[in-house]
Amino acid sequence: QITLKESGPTLVKPTQTLTLTCTFSGFSLSSSGVGVGWIRQPPGRALEWLSLIYWDDDKRYSPSLKDRLTITKDTAENQVVLTMTNVDPVDTATYYCAREIYSNVDYWGQGTLVTVSS
Amino acid sequence: DIQVTQSPSSLSASLGDRVTITCRTSQPISRFLNWYQHKPGKAPKVLINSASILQRGVPSRFSGSGSGTDFTLTISSLQPDDFATYYCQHSYGTPWTFGRGTRVEMK
Mean pLDDT of A88-117: 95
Q: Return the closest-CA partner of residue B76 out of B101, B47, B39, B41.
A: B47
Is the pLDDT confidence value at B50 over 90?
yes
Determine, for residues A46 and B1 on separate chains, whether the beta-carbon distance falls below 8 Å.
no
Provide the 3-class DSSP secondary structure of residue B2: coil
Q: Are A51 and A35 in contact (CB under 8 A)?
A: no
Question: Residue B40's pLDDT is what?
Answer: 85
Question: Residue A2's pLDDT is what?
Answer: 94
Residue type, B47: L
CB atoms within 10 A of CB A40: 24
User: Measured between alpha carbons, how far is A32 from A29 in angstroms, rounded to an integer?
Assistant: 8
Q: Are A90 and A61 in contact (CB under 8 A)?
A: no
pLDDT bucket at A103, cuts 50 / 70 / 90: confident
Question: Residue B98's pLDDT is what?
Answer: 95
Is the pLDDT confidence value at B41 over 90?
no
Nearest CA in chain A to B54: A106
Q: In this structure, what is the dihedral angle of CA atoms A14, B99, A113, A62, given to the nearest 10 degrees?
A: -40
Mean pLDDT of chain A: 96
Mean pLDDT of A6-31: 97
* pLDDT, tens only, A31-58: 999 999 999 999 988 899 999 999 999 9
Interface test with B, best of A105, A106, A107, A112 (most B CBs within 10 A): A105
Nearest CA in chain A to B29: A103
Q: Which residue from B45, B50, B101 is facing A46, i.e. has the nearest CB?
A: B101
Interface test with A, best of B6, B55, B96 (most A CBs within 10 A): B96
Q: Return the closest-CA partner of residue A78 out of A19, A32, A118, A21.
A: A21
For residue B48, list chain A residues with Cβ-Cβ distance below 8 A: none
Is the pLDDT confidence value at A104 over 90?
no
